[in-house]
Structure 1
Amino acid sequence: MTDPLQADAVPCSTTITALAEYGLSDGNELVRRTYDDLEEDGFGAFEPTAAYFDRVAATFRALFVELTGTTPVPTVVDAALDDAQYATLQVVDTGSDLETEVLPEFYKQFAGYYCTYRGRLLVVD
């Protein structure tokens, strides 16, 4: 596995490969698993609140650790998650679907912040 701190020359995608250096080559898996875990824990009905996005981010963090084996969660991942929460809350509507709209947008926002904070070339796909 590539050292994430040495991977700055690698382009960074907002939908698929943002976390490839941690061994997570498909961000869609993280989105799907986040949805499944939220649904299983009784949070499948989207609420456009900061508290709800705290739950989304906590679920995402736990899955990041589970899927990548990286612990603790890197500071850059935490910072990107924090900013993605706020940014996503600004662009989704009350009636947005969690699985098909909210979580994909959350991941897109997260990946964008993550790539930017890493100083990597951002590829929007």
Structure 2
Amino acid sequence: MTVRDVRDKLGAKVLAGENHLDEEVRSACGSDMMSDVLAFSKDHSVLLTGLCNPQVIRTAEMLDIVCIVFVRGKKPDESMLLMAEERGIIILSTGHRMFSACGLLYEAGLHGGAI
């Protein structure tokens, strides 16, 4: 699956990284707790979160997360978008709640795998 597919499945808006939508993603993780995300250490993944602060970008960078999807219509500020652009991280925003967004991606074949 590509980030473009994720965008389409979630009806998401691209906020950063428009030129990288063909990046492949292999798994997904949904969490508002970055400590849980750190335990999930798969590369080429999508992070779904409602937490909207710079720590999310830093966590994604450490784990080689390709794309962050902010759920519930959350939108990061300009400094976060610039930080993501500099690090090559794609930022999407969707109106779906976390549970629904994860379910839609799972149903489309994007799984998280066991820990």
TM-score by length of 1: 0.27
Q: Which has the higher contact order (CA 8 A, sep 6+)?
A: 1
Task: Answer with 1 or 2: which has the greater Rg.
Answer: 1
Question: Structure 1 or 2: larger strand share?
Answer: 2
Question: Structure 1 or 2: larger helix share?
Answer: 1
